Structure 1
């Protein structure tokens, strides 16, 4: 990675927010009075809060005012964690609002649409998903039909634990606990088609890592029958450079899979039988372990039985070891249930088992070793940043195209928290230093080039700002 000391790096050429970023990073090169890092962190904190406050829309925080104008499920969980350091009320509201869109089967949709946003501002929007046509969907609220990784229970517990008002925090837990239990029940009962104890995704968007090479093998086997791909216009290319976004070929498959799910009225048993894309992976299931343990802690606080949640975490752990661990390569991979095989791509997904506090020693050693291996760590480079989303030497690596190589702050944060929990503080410190340095360099961007530090995608990106707050505050505590 680039050196751990604060650096004053020039704004990325062509970035329209250069003036603000110059202000944010300007103190990072302060003279050697021993306070440069502290001052820079203070400035970053205020800038991060300004991003979150600018993106607040009354009941939630949009990831980006232009590119993502609605509410995304796991974005709100990350955002609430950052907000909880300075605004408890909004942090709680941030987590309660996506559950207003919870379906009667327990699913928490990955998007809750804002009715005040023009219908054509984002694709696929509410007219594509047609959630109101399905009996299980919430009344009076349009949502998608997909889900995202289950970070929510962990986030709820973090927000609760940081609250100054104990009675308000307990009331928050009492409101959220039954909704979270229903959410986990949905994943464990509706999304485990083979009964192996692991929750499956039925679309790349559900992974949170939309166009990762981890899905390449599954997507390349999808042939779209003539006439079954609906006409559509990509709104993401209006507000972002096409070179930073998924390709049209990938997007066709994304739309085809979503259209098929909608056509089956979001029936999970049907889609798991019929779809060519049914995958169990390390991120969703490691987060499900972490959040199940958070539910156990909540249960104890509320006088409920914690053992079902601990039992669920243990069962998922066993499932990951049996079905996702590859002893030959000493790495965790996703498994394609339709083809019955591991998908052996070296992606950032392999590090997510760190989120399990009881990760077996063999797995922990392998993950830590991989984080320092050339495929994710390039010490020979003059400058590089941790942790790239895909193998630096892989054939499909692209330093700027979404999840095919760039560094993302949310996955860095997950790795950082996991490393701390497993006592790997030196490596965790390197990851945190890299995260903060990227933001000092390029601002609160959506993702970053792992070699140059250039920022791509949206600017003023909410989870980048929120997790910078969490990193700085935790390191101060």
Structure 2
């Protein structure tokens, strides 16, 4: 399955060096070089289609335009499409995040205009420009009757994009040009958002301020945010309503057979303190842009080299697309988010401005493959809000990790923050996998007590009958004030929101959990979930590995002993011999709940190493059966044979790549390596757009491969990368 990495890495470095050097004076040389790269099949241009121009300030809930961001920035850009001549000369956007929600600021806020002898040079007259996305940058190239204009946009910090314009003479004649930039706001259509942006000229360019707006479900600003364009050279700016024009103070000379470059930055900040901190960064970028270009290109060469290490040639573009997806969804610390992390998707309104717990665990596993320090940061971003016994509102939840944290907590008017439930316990797996790439023993020491507290919480608050088998549930929270809301929170805690096994009409109900003194601790489902307890077995194994690596052999032995005991309980209580599959078990009956149909959660015991060999063989037969889980895109969340199967209904049939990953790794772990390879290839080939330039999706229709729900989904990208390690 894997190829020797050495040669691939060498070829990769050569290709990226080719792709990231500035445009040469000769179009013919560039075309020949690009053709050679394409012929070798190892070019990473346009692994994801990032072309499109917005028509309104408010994107659709799921944006149709894929964007590029880097370094954890809270703004992003796209490329115009070839043929959309009105957009030539600018980068689409930016898309800025109003604390938690994405909005387009402009169709193209900084569109360059070149003039000679008072006549504007028409960029469309050049014919077909090259508008391409490369690892770590966006590039546009226009050949203009003896001139070549190349525009490149990179992110140089967590708040600032660096943009450079290179103007080359290709005919041996010196040229004198007038250079200007124009832009216009895309103003939101409804108040109070409509009045929020305001345009201002500055002595170095132009800025957009934002009024305070606290629309919980649409638009959140504090009145301190600013987007600002800063030019390296002297400029003059005039504004006219929502439009502006910036021009160089003096004409620009392009020497014969030579080059002139222009540099500017585009910065989005939330607070005055951020602006003060960013000011010297911007000054340094404008003073020495080449240094930032070299550093950024080197960083991306490292990302791509590590992500494609050992990956077969036909899958390297998918690996790079996975990296680009994850990096674009990277958000740096801001607001209540204390560490950098990765959002599920910048392209989906409700996923843009927050970090989810089990998303984070899975994302960290993939990100650690190319950037272990970022993987560590995102793990910390969730543990920043681990509940402690000192909590004024929920001390009984000491050890718990909240479901999701956002830019705003409830005290700041945030509606998306959620402590009604936690998420499946995969944190120790994420920490250990990250350590495998970072070899950072300090990180293990830092995380181990926190992981142990999180693990213990499940048994304190989610084991209703104290039999060692845990249940999904809900916290004591004002929003969980009735059985329906508690059941909803419990389904959320599983991560499989609307799966059939959480249907009240099929018997799912809530139970109160109290301590010995009668104090209410929370709520549990009336069923012990097979995936949860399998995850807990894996959690114990990973805790044991960490403890052993830290020299605590007693703790390691204890965790392994507990893992063996829990394994026995899952095997005995949750496996249905007649059906040959694992199910949740009823608390009262102690029997598998087979009437709710088979779900992909029954394959988690293979990933966790919980199933016996005979049980693993039986589950394998179901996973490779076309009437069960071996659909066109394997493996659906509900078996095709189930009366509740719906190929397009969220957790009732679509293929989620995390569950497919667990199933594939489980098959391989139980010796079914050939089947694991076959079904991994089938998944990649059948999921629409995965091997092309389409976005990586939240999930896929198992029968058709059609894309479903959010685009550019982080945990899908992360686990596609991780799959290459198996």
Given the two structures, how large is their TM-score scaled by the length of structure 2?
0.49
Q: Do 1:193 and 1:269's aligned partners in 2 also have CA atoms closer than 8 Å? A: no
Q: Does 1:158 align with 2:433?
A: yes
Q: Does 1:366 align with 2:614?
A: no
Which of residues 345, 351, 358 is equivalent to 1:74? 358
Judging changes above 3 Å, is the alpha-carbon distance between structure 1 residues 327 and 377 closer, same or farther for their aligned structure 2 residues?
closer
Shift of 1:39: 4.0
Matches within 5 A, 1:42-441: 42-58=316-332, 59-65=340-346, 66-68=349-351, 69-104=353-388, 105-115=398-408, 125-126=416-417, 143-163=418-438, 166=439, 169-202=440-473, 203-216=490-503, 218-221=504-507, 269=521, 271-272=523-524, 277-304=525-552, 305=554, 306-337=556-587, 341-344=591-594, 345-357=597-609, 359-377=611-629, 384-437=632-685, 438=687, 439-440=690-691
Judging changes above 3 Å, is the alpha-carbon distance between structure 1 residues 174 and 453 closer, same or farther for their aligned structure 2 residues?
same
Q: Do 2:422 and 2:493's aligned partners in 1 also have CA atoms closer than 8 Å? A: yes
Q: Does 1:453 align with 2:708?
A: no
* 1:41 counterpart residue number: 315
What is the rounded CA distance, in whole Å, between the counterparts of 1:222 and 1:93 in structure 2? Answer: 37
> Secondary structure at the residue paired with 2:350?
coil
Bigger strand share: 2
The count of corresponding residues between Structure 1 and Structure 2 is 379
Q: Does 1:464 align with 2:512?
A: no
Shift of 1:464: 0.8
Judging changes above 3 Å, is the alpha-carbon distance between structure 1 residues 15 and 72 closer, same or farther for their aligned structure 2 residues?
closer
Q: Do 2:655 and 2:700's aligned partners in 1 also have CA atoms closer than 8 Å? A: yes
Shift of 1:366: 1.1
> Secondary structure at the residue paired with 1:313?
helix
CA displacement, residues 227-281 of structure 1 (integer Å, 9 cap, x when unaligned): xxxxxxxxxxxxxxxxxxxxxxxxxxxxxx89x99xxxxx764524xxxx33211
Shift of 1:44: 1.4
Judging changes above 3 Å, is the alpha-carbon distance between structure 1 residues 339 and 318 closer, same or farther for their aligned structure 2 residues?
closer
Shift of 1:331: 1.6
* 1:130 counterpart residue number: none
What is the rounded CA distance, in whole Å, between the counterparts of 1:313 and 1:411 in structure 2? Answer: 22
What is the rounded CA distance, in whole Å, between the counterparts of 1:389 and 1:440 in structure 2? Answer: 22
What is the rounded CA distance, in whole Å, between the counterparts of 2:683 and 2:610 in structure 1? Answer: 26
* 2:110 counterpart residue number: none
CA displacement, residues 196-241 of structure 1 (integer Å, 9 cap, x when unaligned): 211111211111111111223x455579xxxxxxxxxxxxxxxxxx
Structure ranking higher on relative contact order (CA contacts 8 Å, 6+ apart): 1
Shift of 1:397: 1.2
CA displacement, residues 109-138 of structure 1 (integer Å, 9 cap, x when unaligned): 11123228998886xx34xxxxxxxxxxxx
Q: Do 1:282 and 1:353's aligned partners in 2 also have CA atoms closer than 8 Å? A: yes
Q: Do 2:574 and 2:591's aligned partners in 1 also have CA atoms closer than 8 Å? A: no
What is the rounded CA distance, in whole Å, between the counterparts of 1:453 and 1:372 in structure 2? Answer: 17
What is the rounded CA distance, in whole Å, between the counterparts of 2:618 and 2:413 in structure 1? Answer: 46
CA displacement, residues 285-328 of structure 1 (integer Å, 9 cap, x when unaligned): 11111121011111111011201111221121122122211222
Judging changes above 3 Å, is the alpha-carbon distance between structure 1 residues 362 and 38 closer, same or farther for their aligned structure 2 residues?
closer
Q: Do 2:586 and 2:593's aligned partners in 1 also have CA atoms closer than 8 Å? A: yes
Q: Do 2:698 and 2:708's aligned partners in 1 also have CA atoms closer than 8 Å? A: yes
What is the rounded CA distance, in whole Å, between the counterparts of 1:420 and 1:268 in structure 2? Answer: 43
Judging changes above 3 Å, is the alpha-carbon distance between structure 1 residues 101 and 434 closer, same or farther for their aligned structure 2 residues?
farther
Q: Do 2:491 and 2:498's aligned partners in 1 also have CA atoms closer than 8 Å? A: yes
Bigger helix share: 1
Shift of 1:63: 0.6
* 1:6 counterpart residue number: none
Which protein is bigger by CA-based radius of gyration? 2
Given the two structures, how large is their TM-score scaled by the length of structure 1?
0.73
Q: Do 2:501 and 2:508's aligned partners in 1 also have CA atoms closer than 8 Å? A: no
> Secondary structure at the residue paired with 1:162?
helix
Q: Do 1:196 and 1:319's aligned partners in 2 also have CA atoms closer than 8 Å? A: no
> Secondary structure at the residue paired with 1:148?
coil
Q: Do 2:537 and 2:610's aligned partners in 1 also have CA atoms closer than 8 Å? A: no
Judging changes above 3 Å, is the alpha-carbon distance between structure 1 residues 396 and 86 closer, same or farther for their aligned structure 2 residues?
same
What is the rounded CA distance, in whole Å, between the counterparts of 2:462 and 2:592 in structure 1? Answer: 18
Q: Do 2:508 and 2:527's aligned partners in 1 also have CA atoms closer than 8 Å? A: no
Q: Do 2:696 and 2:713's aligned partners in 1 also have CA atoms closer than 8 Å? A: yes
What is the rounded CA distance, in whole Å, between the counterparts of 1:361 and 1:196 in structure 2? Answer: 25
Moved more, 78-87 or 320-329: 320-329
Q: Do 2:606 and 2:667's aligned partners in 1 also have CA atoms closer than 8 Å? A: yes
Judging changes above 3 Å, is the alpha-carbon distance between structure 1 residues 329 and 114 closer, same or farther for their aligned structure 2 residues?
same
